[in-house]
């Protein structure tokens, strides 16, 4: 793996050293680690211990460590352990986008005082600019640090620009070319600059055919564009084309991962972003909403069954197939909806019309319904309830059909209303189809028997 990996033994030794306040060990073993690895160690310490480690780090490393800590943990850690002066010292060295993320976690008072205390006044201006944007659009993901040149400058002036900004712009990737109104005209890649002659005019090496996004574009779409065109950085412009900042791929990768985690949780019925190490109350709270929806659905199903109680008294064996109606409905529903959710997320070209979609889905349902029906039909004979054969088979086929149709329509409707279809597809579909499955079964039983 990497040339250095935090082993469990090393982690334990380190934690132990910090608890003993073993300054020698910390200076020798921790201060030189990658910031991301130091962050991992801090997760295992309590607030005062973690803060103690910071006095051994130079300001730049400290800033890098702070910028790589999880938002929730950092919010609490900084609030409890840091004075505003100390926050300002580190934020001064942050990339502007990360600085805004950190400040958004704190109270408005802390935020304002930190900005006032920043030594780097350009950084302060950058941050004030960025605070306008919502977190999940291009404007909220971008950083202000970039290298910008004019078309009529030369390559060697461009190199001087890079030199001037070398400290604040950590990764250059490319140089942006703008006109006198600071409207984006194109880019020059670093490779081009390395290879071009010193007195070449920027206008002669500029690549004008580039992809950019506007500040208001939602984060998912920024991710999609960067992935589609294989970009590691993308410029952000305002409505009149003025270059305002750039988004780097690392922020987008984090965004993609978070989004995938959210969808995964949503489809399994967990609301809000929780992790296994959150406290018991948060964990319970994140699950209750959908559990309660499930309970309500099941109690409605119970009410339906109660409506047919006289039938059930006559033929108790009807109860045997309650589970299969519910679970088949739920399973088919969630399978169908998950494919729809994914093709909604991918937006590849022209999408199928609703009619075509449903027709195809009904064919798939028929195929699966026949297999499941046949299996269950055999079982009905084996346990010696042949009078239920047609009821069970017909009910199963109807359940598979209905669940497929609901599994198709629900995410499409949610998407139309701007709700993340993954959120309500999983548990909602399962619950609704449990209910539909059981109701269908009893209606058919009542009709055929």
116 vs 211, beta carbon nearer a second copy: 211
Number of residues forming the site for a second copy (CB under 8 A)? 130
Distance between CA atoms of residues 152 and 312, nearest Å? 87
Q: Which two tokens stand for residue 361?
A: 């889905």
Residue with tokens 């130079």: 58
Within 332-391, the residues that bind a second copy by CB under 8 A are 332, 334-335, 337-343, 346, 348-350, 352, 357, 360, 363-364, 367-368, 371-372, 375-376, 379, 383
Judged by CB under 8 A, the stretch of 19-27, 47-55, 124-132, 419-427 that binds a second copy is 419-427
Within 212-251, the residues that bind a second copy by CB under 8 A are 212-214, 217, 221, 225-232, 249-250
122 vs 250, beta carbon nearer a second copy: 250
Within 51-90, the residues that bind a second copy by CB under 8 A are none
Q: Which residues pair with 188 in a beta bridge?
A: 175
Under rule CB under 8 A, residue 9 binds a second copy: no
The binding track of 115-154 with respect to a second copy, each residue x by CB under 8 A or -, is ----------------------------------------
The binding track of 91-120 with respect to a second copy, each residue x by CB under 8 A or -, is ------------------------------
Give the nearest distance from C-beta 225 to a second copy in angstroms. 5
Q: Which of 266, 323, 258, 263 is nearest to 289 (CA)?
A: 266
DSSP assignment of 153-221, as one string? SBHHHHHHHHHHHTTT-S---EEEEE-TT-BEEEEEEHHHHHHS-TT-BHHHH-B-----EETTSBHHH
Helix (H, G, I), strand (E, B) or coil at 143: strand
Choice from 328, 398, 420, 440 touching a second copy (CB under 8 A): 328
Choice from 13, 23, 128, 295 touching a second copy (CB under 8 A): 295
Choice from 194, 239, 355, 416 touching a second copy (CB under 8 A): 194
Q: Which two tokens stand for residue 31?
A: 């201060």
Q: Which of 175, 181, 172 is nearest to 238 (CA)?
A: 181
Contacts (Cβ under 8 Å, ≥6 apart) of 291: 269
Give the nearest distance from C-beta 211 to a second copy in angstroms. 5
Choice from 190, 358, 409, 412 touching a second copy (CB under 8 A): 190
Distance between CA atoms of residues 269 and 278, nearest Å? 17
Within 248-267, the residues that bind a second copy by CB under 8 A are 249-250, 252-254, 256-257, 260-261, 263-265, 267
Within 264-283, the residues that bind a second copy by CB under 8 A are 264-265, 267-270, 274-277, 280-281, 283
Asked if 138 contacts 213 with a C-beta cutoff of 8 angstroms, the reply is yes
State the Cα angle at 64 between 12 and 236, rounded to 5°.
Answer: 140
Q: Which of 408, 309, 303 is nearest to 364 (CA)?
A: 408
In this structure, the chain runs to a length of 449
Give the nearest distance from C-beta 306 to a second copy in angstroms. 6
Asked if 195 contacts 220 with a C-beta cutoff of 8 angstroms, the reply is no
Distance between CA atoms of residues 215 and 243, nearest Å? 10
23 vs 36, beta carbon nearer a second copy: 36
Give the nearest distance from C-beta 280 to a second copy in angstroms. 5
Under rule CB under 8 A, residue 305 binds a second copy: yes
């Amino acid at each position: 793996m990497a040339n250095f990996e935090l082993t469990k033994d090393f982690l334990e030794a380190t934690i132990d050293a910090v608890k003993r306040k073993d300054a020698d060990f910390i200076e020798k073993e921790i201060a030189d680690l990658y910031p991301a690895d130091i962050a991992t160690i801090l997760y295992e310490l309590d607030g005062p211990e973690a803060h103690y480690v910071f006095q051994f780090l130079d300001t730049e490393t400290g800033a890098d460590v702070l910028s790589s800590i999880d938002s929730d943990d950092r919010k609490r850690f900084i609030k409890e352990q840091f004075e505003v002066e100390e926050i300002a010292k580190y934020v001064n060295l942050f990339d502007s986008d990360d600085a805004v993320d950190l400040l958004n976690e704190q109270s408005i008072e802390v935020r304002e005082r930190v900005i006032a205390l920043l030594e780097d006044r350009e950084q302060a201006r950058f941050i004030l600019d960025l605070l306008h944007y919502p977190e999940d659009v291009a404007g909220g993901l971008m950083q202000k640090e970039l290298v910008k040149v004019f078309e009529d400058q030369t390559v060697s002036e461009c190199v001087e620009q890079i030199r001037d900004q070398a400290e604040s712009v950590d990764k250059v990737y490319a140089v942006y070319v703008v006109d006198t109104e600071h409207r984006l005209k194109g880019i020059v890649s670093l490779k081009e600059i390395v290879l071009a002659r010193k007195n070449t005019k920027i206008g002669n090496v500029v690549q004008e055919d580039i992809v950019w996004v506007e500040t208001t574009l939602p984060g998912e779409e920024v991710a999609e564009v960067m992935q589609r065109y294989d970009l590691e950085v993308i410029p952000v412009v305002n409505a009149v084309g003025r270059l305002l900042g750039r988004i780097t791929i690392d922020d987008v990768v984090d965004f993609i991962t978070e989004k995938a985690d959210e969808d995964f949780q949503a489809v399994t019925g967990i609301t809000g972003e929780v992790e296994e190490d959150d406290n018991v109350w948060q964990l319970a709270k994140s699950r209750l909403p959908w559990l309660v929806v499930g309970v309500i659905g099941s109690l409605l199903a119970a009410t339906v069954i109660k409506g047919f109680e006289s039938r059930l008294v006559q033929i108790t064996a009807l109860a045997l197939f309650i589970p299969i109606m519910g679970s088949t409905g739920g399973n088919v529903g969630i399978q169908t909806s998950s494919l729809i959710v994914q093709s909604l997320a991918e937006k590849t070209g022209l999408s199928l019309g609703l009619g075509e979609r449903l027709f195809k889905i009904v064919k798939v349902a028929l195929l699966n319904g026949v297999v499941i029906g046949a299996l269950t039909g055999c079982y009905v004979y084996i346990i010696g309830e042949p009078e239920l054969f047609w009821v069970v088979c017909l009910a199963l086929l109807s359940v598979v059909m209905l669940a497929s149709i609901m599994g198709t329509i629900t995410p499409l409707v949610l998407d139309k209303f701007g709700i993340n279809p993954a959120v309500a597809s999983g548990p909602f579909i399962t619950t609704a189809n449990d209910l539909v499955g059981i109701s269908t079964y009893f209606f058919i039983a009542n009709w055929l028997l």
